[in-house]
Amino acid sequence: MSNFALVTGASGGIGLDLARLLAKDKHDLVLVARSEDKLKEAKSSIEKEFGVNVKIIIADLSLPEAATQLYDEIQKEKIHIDILINNAGYGDFGSFASCDWTKQERMINLNVLSLSKITHYFLPAMIKSGHGKIMNLGSIASFLPGPMMSTYYATKAYVLSFSCSLANELKGTGVTITALCPGPVDTGFVAAAALEGSKLFHSFKPMTSPDVAAYGYRRMMKGKLLAIPGTMNKLMVTSVRFSPRKLVAFIVRKVQEKR
Ligand SMILES: NC(=O)c1ccc[n+]([C@@H]2O[C@H](COP(=O)([O-])OP(=O)(O)OC[C@H]3O[C@@H](n4cnc5c(N)ncnc54)[C@H](OP(=O)(O)O)[C@@H]3O)[C@@H](O)[C@H]2O)c1
């Protein structure tokens, strides 16, 4: 069995930048997303630039059975996943009462269900081999209530809680888990979440995706649980620990509302 790193949501944004960092360190890759053309482009440019082997799998991980199908496909290829990056995810801006439920349900499937299932499938072989690294994409939303994006913030709270618990369970196994929790990042996320009109990306200067990926990658390689890129984000996360949740929800709403 050969070792590969698996990155979900690798057709663009933070996932693609993480894939490039892995390739630079000579890791062979399995890249997953829905956009076949973008994945093919990523495969050829990464293989050419870094000389590693890149496999692509087209999958819509917002469908409940997609994670199982992904695992089966990788098993057939006789590949061992020693680094897993659960990066695919999206948000949706708007009040919960008026939201498109299908979009919320698919978001929960992607951000929570598939992330958990994929981890569940690949973790036992990592433990058996005595080493492995997992990164889950949280957000500063993991630490906050998020009016006008309530489901998204709740999915990211799950990711952080889940990652912290697993870090404890995995002590001494050689497998580490990292929750990368960025603030606003300049990627396709804004359009996917219909956030163009929100104050969020105008009130805070977004970080660049390569910077966020590089920070997260370093933390993952050191086996650190938390990766919060940027001083402002670190300060914000610390300050909300001591603030009433109602007040935090009020402030988040003010920041997120339409301009
Ligand atoms: N950008 C931010 O401000 C920010 C802040 C904090 C956390 N995050 C988190 O960072 C992660 C990456 O987001 P990003 O900012 O890089 O956004 P992005 O540029 O929109 O990238 C999202 C990636 O996920 C993939 N994806 C989306 N839906 C999918 C599905 N149903 N099945 C499989 N793949 C899917 C997309 O590819 P396809 O469209 O080709 O499927 C794309 O490769 C997400 O989990 C997001 O919540 C982002």
Specify the CATH number for the domain of residue 242.
3.40.50.720
DSSP code of residue 206: P
Distance 244 CA to ligand 1 centre (A): 30
Q: What is the pLDDT of residue 85?
A: 99
Q: Which residues contact 189 (CB under 8 A, 6 or more apart)?
A: 13, 90, 91, 195
Helix, strand or coil, per DSSP, at residue 149: coil
Q: What is the pLDDT of residue 135?
A: 98
- CA dist 189 and 107 (Å) reads 13
Q: What is the pLDDT of residue 201?
A: 80
- Looking from the CA of residue 90, the nearest atom of ligand 1 is 47
pTM listed for this prediction: 0.97
Return the amino acid letter for 45: S
- CA dist 73 and 57 (Å) reads 9
16: closest CA among 217, 190, 225, 227?
Answer: 217
Q: What is the pLDDT of residue 196?
A: 82
- Looking from the CA of residue 192, the nearest atom of ligand 1 is 20
Options 90, 121, 152, 158, the catalytic residue: 152
- From 29, 35, 40, 90, mutation site for ligand 1 pocket: most ligand atoms within 8 A of C-beta: 90
Q: What is the pLDDT of residue 245?
A: 95
Q: What is the pLDDT of residue 87?
A: 98
Joined together, the tokens standing for residue 188 give 């396709």
Active site (annotated) includes residue 152: yes
DSSP code of residue 198: B
Q: What is the pLDDT of residue 200?
A: 80
Pocket of ligand 1 (CB under 6 A): 8-15, 33-35, 38, 59-62, 87-90, 110, 137, 139, 182, 184-185, 187-189, 192
How many domains are contained in the chain? Answer: 1
Buried b (16+ CB within 10 A) or exposed e, 32-57: bbeeeebbeebbeebeeebebebbbb
pLDDT (tens place) for every residue of the chain, 259 residues total: 789 999 999 999 999 999 999 999 999 999 999 999 999 999 999 999 999 999 999 999 999 999 999 999 999 999 999 999 999 999 999 999 999 999 999 999 999 999 999 999 999 999 999 999 999 999 999 999 999 999 999 999 999 999 999 999 999 999 999 999 999 999 999 889 888 878 888 777 899 999 999 999 999 999 999 999 999 999 999 999 999 999 999 999 999 887 6
User: How would you class 127 by CB atoms within 10 Å of its CB: exposed for 0-12, middle for 13-18, buried for 19 or more?
Assistant: middle
Half-sphere exposure of 244 (CA within 13 A, CB side): 3
Q: What is the pLDDT of residue 194?
A: 86
Domain containing residue 76: 2-256
* 141 to 150, 209, 231: CA distances (angstroms): 10, 17, 16
Which residue minimizes the CA distance to atom 43 of ligand 1?
A: 9
Half-sphere exposure of 95 (CA within 13 A, CB side): 3
DSSP code of residue 30: E
